[in-house]
DNA sequence: AGCTCATGTGAATAGTGTTTACATGAGGCG
DNA sequence: CGCCTCATGTAAACACTATTCACATGAGCT
């Protein structure tokens, strides 16, 4: 078996060569399997094929390892959100919803990172690097909210962008956290988490005075103020209430 | 009912007398101190003043202890929400918002229970008793959403109550989870979590076609359909956007 | 009283976290 | 080239936890 890296590189002897990275990957895999509390420092070491004491050369303790993973997670999260936002192209509203889907997709595709970031108990505010990375990720959501807030139709009070960002983030995190991953420890849903979030965000935006249908209403050439603020059908499809 | 010892001094002999309860309380205190992953079975035993093997007479393992705490948490949660809802008195909308505040208050006042319920990794669906308790708590939110959905103004499509309940729950949980507790591991906010949730719910309800101001609009004697569906000012106060 | 069994103890086994002294070998320097 | 040095990994040791076992205690029943 490959209890050492029997890859391209000539078989590693005494020295691993890239243990820090290997430990991060090993921990990531273990978190994905059993949750952020479901692995031990020794597990990570064994999974990387080194002795239990080796990780201490690279991380002060397990928390520092988790914090490193969380930081890397925030960086990837920021990249994903930035790409989804795409500076608001082709139009602000659809880009905004793309960010929401990207949020859920990240939580679903990278549950290990997401757990480390939000559910591992890592104190974000204590570590400046981690805190800054988290702030950069949130800044994407906030920037999107700013652009969206600037689009409020005339005659409607403009909402504070920060509050909007916090609301959207909270709903996204709540959905991801409660229903996002098929951990078998989560609750069943009558719809996909993505649909639930999209409907929620659409209703929320309508509550702020945005027109509800998906006409691009290209902000570069704003057509006219909406004449019917409450359209007849909502964003939740055609099912009637029970 | 006299199997109890004389409820006098905690003069404990060989037998504790109420160890199961004492272990639950001890674990609750430890969770409040160091999080749901921050205590051990032996810690709970020591904290209750018994030997490390004693807890095994009452709980199969640590997870069962956590599950018991989560179950008790869901029961208290249900009680708190039921009381806040008060069957929709005096009017549905204000009772609904009272439920939202009660949600946050529970997360804030009982962080140990809340952690055990939502952040401890306890598989809710596996344990029927736990699952049922969780379901009963959610049923309160859902029942409130049903009543609210029945109040949609005429001419507005009625939203599915389950979806409403899921949206409100998600936002409540997201806010509680991200900003709810002053754990020093949480993010700073420019407003209270309660205000953030209340504003979010009001905006959301307005998006569903509900009138936004707090006139009771007593559902028993519905006055008239709203003539101005988008009121001039929003629920977020008087601050203008940046 | 005497019995019985739920409840708690102490000891034993196994695994983990963490520290410390030691081993290895890659790269710099003569 | 040979030697030195230090980052990196190992082995051993200690403390703590999880879990189970045989055994002790005493509360409540008959």
The answer to whether B125 contacts A169, with C-beta atoms less than 8 Å apart, is no
Secondary structure, 3-state, chain A? CCCCCCCCCCCCCCCCCCHHHHHHHHHHHHHHHHCCCCCCHHHHHHHHCCCCCHHHHCCCCHHHHHHHHHHHHHHHHHHHHHHHHHHHCCCHHHHHHHHHHHHHHHHHHCHHHHHHHHCCCCCCCCCHHHHHHHHHHHHHHHHHHHHHHCCCCCCCCCCCHHHHHHHHHHHHHHHHHHHHCCCCCCCCCCCCHHHHHHHHHHHHHHHCCCCCCCCCCCHHHCCCCCCCCCCCCCCCCCCCCC
Interface test with A, best of B70, B163, B179 (most A CBs within 10 A): B163
Mean residue pLDDT of chain B comes to 83
Task: Answer yes or no: is pLDDT of B86 > 90.
Answer: yes
The answer to whether B191 contacts A163, with C-beta atoms less than 8 Å apart, is yes
* Gap between the Cα atoms of A218 and A33, Å rounded: 45
Query: Prior bond to B204 cis, omega within 30?
Result: no
The answer to whether B160 contacts A239, with C-beta atoms less than 8 Å apart, is yes
Task: Answer yes or no: is pLDDT of B234 > 80.
Answer: no
A43 CA → D18 C1’, Å? 17
pLDDT in the model for residue B155: 86
Higher pLDDT, B135 or B212: B135
Q: Average of pLDDT values for B79-94?
A: 95
Interface test with A, best of B104, B112, B121, B133 (most A CBs within 10 A): B121
Instruction: Give the length of chain A.
Output: 242
Model confidence band, residue B230 (pLDDT cutoffs 50, 70, 90): very low
pLDDT in the model for residue A182: 60
Token duo for residue A200: 């929620």
pLDDT in the model for residue B140: 96
Q: Which CATH architecture has domain A66-212?
A: Orthogonal Bundle (1.10)
pLDDT in the model for residue B183: 59
Do residues A161 and A102 touch, judged by C-beta distance below 8 A? Answer: no
- Domain residue spans in chain A? 18-59, 66-212
pLDDT in the model for residue B3: 29
Model confidence band, residue B2 (pLDDT cutoffs 50, 70, 90): very low
pLDDT in the model for residue A236: 64
Which amino acid residue lies closest to nucleotide C19, measuring CA to C1'? A53
B34 CA → C10 C1’, Å? 29
The percentage of chain A sitting over the pLDDT mark of 90, rounded to a whole number, equals: 51
pLDDT in the model for residue B47: 93
pLDDT in the model for residue A105: 94
pLDDT in the model for residue A242: 40
pLDDT in the model for residue B188: 73
The percentage of chain B sitting over the pLDDT mark of 90, rounded to a whole number, equals: 62
Instruction: Dump pLDDT digits (tens) for B33-79.
Output: 888 888 899 999 999 999 999 999 999 999 999 999 999 999 999 99
Q: Average of pLDDT values for B206-219?
A: 68
Separate counts of helices (H) and strands (E) for chain B: 8, 0
Pick the CATH number of B18-59 from 1.10.10, 1.20.120, 3.30.460, 2.40.50: 1.10.10
Mean pLDDT by groups of 10 residues along chain A of 242 residues? 37 70 91 84 89 92 92 96 96 91 94 91 86 94 94 88 95 92 65 93 93 54 46 50 40
Collapsing DSSP to helix, strand or coil, B143 comes out as helix
Which superfamily, per CATH, for B66-215? Tetracycline Repressor, domain 2 (1.10.357.10)
All protein residues with a CB under 7 A from any atom of strand C:
A 13-15, 40-43, 52-53, 56, 61-62; B 14-17, 19, 50-54, 57-58
pLDDT in the model for residue B4: 33
Instruction: Dump pLDDT digits (tens) for A174-201.
Output: 999 998 776 544 667 889 999 999 999 9
């Amino acid at each position: 078996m490959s209890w050492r890296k029997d890859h391209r590189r000539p078989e590693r002897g005494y020295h691993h060569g890239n243990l820090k990275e290997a430990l991060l990957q090993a921990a990531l895999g273990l978190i994905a399997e059993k949750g952020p509390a479901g692995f031990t420092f020794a597990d990570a070491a064994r999974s990387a094929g080194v002795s239990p004491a080796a990780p201490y050369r690279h991380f002060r303790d397990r928390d520092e390892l988790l914090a490193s993973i969380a930081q890397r997670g925030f960086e990837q999260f920021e990249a994903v959100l930035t790409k989804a936002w795409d500076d608001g192209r082709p139009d602000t509203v659809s880009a905004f919803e793309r960010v929401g889907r990207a949020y859920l997709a990240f939580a679903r595709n990278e549950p290990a990172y997401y757990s480390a970031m939000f559910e591992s108990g890592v104190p974000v505010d204590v570590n400046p690097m981690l805190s800054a990375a988290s702030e950069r990720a949130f800044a994407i959501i906030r920037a999107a909210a700013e652009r969206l807030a600037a689009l409020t139709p005339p005659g409607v009070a403009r909402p504070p962008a920060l509050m909007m960002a916090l609301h959207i983030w909270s709903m996204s995190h709540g959905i991801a956290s409660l229903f996002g991953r098929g951990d078998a420890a989560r609750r069943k849903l009558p719809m996909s988490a993505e649909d639930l979030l999209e409907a929620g965000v659409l209703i929320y935006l309508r509550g702020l005075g945005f027109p509800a249908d998906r006409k691009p209403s290209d902000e570069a050439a704003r057509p006219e103020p909406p004449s019917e603020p409450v359209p007849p059908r909502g964003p939740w499809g055609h099912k009637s209430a029970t």
